[in-house]
Structure 1
Amino acid sequence: MYNQDEFINRFRLPKEAILRLTDDLSNSLGPTTARSHSIPALLQVCTAVRFYATGSFLNTVGDTLGLSKASVSRVVHRVSSTLSDKLPKFPTQPAELNSIKRGFFNVARFPNVIGAIDGTHVRIQAPSDHEHLFVNRKGYHSLNIQAVCDSNLKFLNCVARWPGSCHDSRVLQNSQLYQAFEDGIIDGILLGDSGYPLKPWLLTPFLYPTTPAQRNYNAAHCSTRNTVERAFGVLKRRFHCLHASPASSESEQPEATHKADVPTKRRREKPVYLTDDQQQLLADWLKDHPEIYTKGSRDFKNTERKKRRWEDMAKDLGVSYEELIRWPCHPYKGDALRSPSWGMERMSS
């Protein structure tokens, strides 16, 4: 029997959360017959959560819990389908909306905000039908998932049915949430990035701010909206099935093997891998802090101040400062820039 820490390491959730989840899903997962050897609801939930947490092979998950590969496959599908019927519904009651607005206002004093919206890509295997539609702009097969969250990183709305080639704005315009805001059913505004259209209820940043007021607006907008970026990062770090790290892709295995064959005198430190959303959050942050990578900036040589800012950014990304410095694509290390154009390339992509 695992203790609490061992259980969380394996299932990424505490025991109490697993029990509550089992109670919520027991009516749908419970056996419909009195036959023996049926898989109880608790074991089904543990099996699915173990797969979500590791993203491992079905055989590996089955060996851990004493189930066959076929049983694990059916259980994961059954639990996932049951969970999809319990997706959160966007709040419409004034009391709930006012509570969300207060939470966002406390972040950067941005008023009347009831959600931060963005899309994220979840890697999938290449489907047999309409395969080309699922190839996203980064060249791999994925689903484009739209989500809205509050200031506490709680997801309020989710749309997970569009292929990776679809743009974020198209996903939004074909969602029920879009129609609800257009009809005036929901009172408040959403914050989105520049990929979304500007609406009375959807605010985006200035692409080229020229006045102090516009720069202040962009700073408050970025600080308030990045809650959804952090929510995606936390979700993918907790449930690894949603995030395939670059080290596990087939295209990088030969290079990794070649590097491992080269003898080195110094021990190699394992680099940290950031999700696409974390990389985009870092790029947006660099855009708001040009002194980090602009040598002509007055504060470029103020290494202590820059280090403090990097430490604060590492906390927002959910990694340590040392891990962020070891990131392979990190544009800054020590007193110099390793790749001055990195930030601009990310911002223009």
Structure 2
Amino acid sequence: MYYVAPNIPFPLVCDIGPSFEKNRATKTYKIRREGDDDNFKQLYRFSRENVGFLARTFLPNYEETRGEAFQNMQKMKCFLRYVGDPGFQVGVGEDLGLHQTTVCKTVWQTCRAIVEKSHGWIKKYEFPYCIGALDCTHVLIKRPHHFADEFVNRKGLTSFNVQATCNGREMFTSVECRWPGSVHDARIWRNSAIREILSDNNSDAVMLADEAYPIAPWLMTPFKNPSSAEQRSYNIMHTRERVIIERVFGQAKQRFPILQSKIRISTERVPQMVVACFVLHNVAKIMNDEDFTLPEELLQPNYVQFNGGVDDGNSICHRGQRRRDAIAMHIKNQL
């Protein structure tokens, strides 16, 4: 291009750089790969049909159509590949033909979309008839920059201590994922929303918990050092029923291995990642998407003599003990 200056007999050529078209960067796209039917579920933790259902259910209807835009099905597959990898964004990008930054952005957007609809998939108990089980599990995380010591659990590992309840259909009914690994299970329970719901209900509904929790009329724990036939029968029945929460934790961790290795994202984002995985566990149950193989120890209850339990002499504890005695006698009479 050039400009003609006045009173100059010839054009004055002014170089203002190459044209925009010549300098425009050319977009390049990696080859995006699809899983074969033979290994699709192994890669994405759901059948192909159910991954499509997840994309339609949790992700917005709007999809970008310009160029090689990332579609909802691909976004969901990216998230599922990440939680099943477990958790290496660079590796997921190589597998799917994506840049690491695209994987990071897509995983977090999809995670938030799932959590935003979690109320429709993790439903609290419908009293008065539901009986469930309660427990905590540790989810490992990378060492936080702030308050790192609070996240060190009794095994010396950094983690979140996640409390959850489940029902007889092996589905989560509540999740508390905001406590660092050093916090005891009983403290999480005392401050949980599900405890408030149980303590305020006027029904006979109860939940089952292990010896780490204080007994209450709405929370049944094992007998400490059972000394009678009815107490021993109660402990056996209690263990057989309570093991369901261990099974549910195991199923979720088998489907999403990120939960059993280490979640390598910023600490403040870990709770949403955990909740998203628990939501998708419930979806898998509703869709009858087959579970992954569980470790043998989670398939059968382990009957032991419990030495825990809390008896601090207060009225709630005594009421819980009286109710446990009545339940134990009922169980013995049924045998």
TM range (shorter): 0.5 to 0.7
Which residue number in structure 1 is paired with residue 195 of structure 2? 178
The Cα offsets for residues 148-179 of structure 1, whole Å up to 9 and x where unpaired, read as 11122111111111111111111111111111
Percent identity, aligned pairs only, is: 33
Please say if 1:81 is aligned against 2:112.
yes
Q: Distance in 1 between matches of 2:190 and 2:67?
A: 49
Counterpart code for 1:22: A
TM-score scaled by length of structure 1: 0.63
Q: Distance in 2 between matches of 1:155 and 1:5?
A: 30
Which residue number in structure 1 is paired with residue 221 of structure 2? 204
Gaps of 5+ in 1: 102-113, 246-273, 290-349
Q: Indicate if the aligned counterparts of 2:89 and 2:104 stay in contact, CA closer than 8 A.
A: yes
Kindly state the Cα deviation for residue 85 of structure 1 after the two structures are TM-superposed. 2.3
Q: Indicate if the aligned counterparts of 2:123 and 2:173 stay in contact, CA closer than 8 A.
A: yes
1:239-318 alignment runs, 5 A limit: 239-244=256-261, 285=302, 287=304
The Cα offsets for residues 203-230 of structure 1, whole Å up to 9 and x where unpaired, read as 0001210101000000000000000001
Kindly state the Cα deviation for residue 284 of structure 1 after the two structures are TM-superposed. 7.1
Q: Distance in 2 between matches of 1:3 and 1:37?
A: 21
The Cα offsets for residues 255-288 of structure 1, whole Å up to 9 and x where unpaired, read as xxxxxxxxxxxxxxxxxxx98xx87x69971525
Which residue number in structure 1 is paired with residue 43 of structure 2? 10
Q: Distance in 2 between matches of 1:70 and 1:185?
A: 51
1:104-253 alignment runs, 5 A limit: 114-184=131-201, 188-244=205-261
The Cα offsets for residues 13-57 of structure 1, whole Å up to 9 and x where unpaired, read as 1112211111111228x45x7754432111111000011112142
Q: Indicate if the aligned counterparts of 1:11 and 1:49 stay in contact, CA closer than 8 A.
A: yes
Kindly state the Cα deviation for residue 125 of structure 1 after the two structures are TM-superposed. 0.3
Counterpart code for 1:9: Q
Give the length in aligned residue pairs. Answer: 239
Which residue number in structure 2 is paired with residue 259 of structure 1? none
1:32-47 alignment runs, 5 A limit: 36-47=67-78
Q: Indicate if the aligned counterparts of 2:133 and 2:208 stay in contact, CA closer than 8 A.
A: yes
SS for the counterpart of 2:224 is coil
Q: Distance in 2 between matches of 1:25 and 1:282?
A: 32
Q: Distance in 1 between matches of 2:181 and 2:202?
A: 29
Answer 1 or 2: which has greater helix percent.
1
RMSD value, Cα:
2.6
Q: Indicate if the aligned counterparts of 1:180 and 1:186 stay in contact, CA closer than 8 A.
A: no
SS for the counterpart of 1:27 is coil
Please say if 1:20 is aligned against 2:53.
yes
Which residue number in structure 2 is paired with residue 50 of structure 1? 81
Gaps of 5+ in 2: 1-33, 263-293, 307-335
Q: Distance in 2 between matches of 1:239 and 1:44?
A: 17
**CA distance 1:242–1:159, change in 2 (3 Å):** same
Counterpart code for 1:136: N
Question: Which of residues 112, 121, 125 is equivalent to 1:91?
Answer: 125
Q: Indicate if the aligned counterparts of 2:226 and 2:305 stay in contact, CA closer than 8 A.
A: no
Q: Indicate if the aligned counterparts of 2:161 and 2:180 stay in contact, CA closer than 8 A.
A: yes
Q: Indicate if the aligned counterparts of 1:58 and 1:69 stay in contact, CA closer than 8 A.
A: yes
SS for the counterpart of 2:136 is strand
- Greater relative contact order: 1 or 2 (C-alpha under 8 angstroms, separation 6 or more)? 2
Kindly state the Cα deviation for residue 2 of structure 1 after the two structures are TM-superposed. 4.0
SS for the counterpart of 2:175 is strand
TM-score scaled by length of structure 2: 0.65
**CA distance 1:127–1:186, change in 2 (3 Å):** farther
Counterpart code for 1:62: G
Q: Indicate if the aligned counterparts of 2:133 and 2:242 stay in contact, CA closer than 8 A.
A: yes
The Cα offsets for residues 228-267 of structure 1, whole Å up to 9 and x where unpaired, read as 001111111121101129xxxxxxxxxxxxxxxxxxxxxx
The Cα offsets for residues 119-143 of structure 1, whole Å up to 9 and x where unpaired, read as 0001100010110010111110011
**CA distance 1:183–1:124, change in 2 (3 Å):** same
**CA distance 1:139–1:210, change in 2 (3 Å):** same
Counterpart code for 1:179: E
Counterpart code for 2:304: K
SS for the counterpart of 2:60 is helix
Q: Distance in 2 between matches of 1:91 and 1:167?
A: 24
Q: Distance in 2 between matches of 1:196 and 1:85?
A: 31
Q: Distance in 1 between matches of 2:160 and 2:224?
A: 27
SS for the counterpart of 1:205 is coil
Q: Indicate if the aligned counterparts of 1:145 and 1:162 stay in contact, CA closer than 8 A.
A: yes
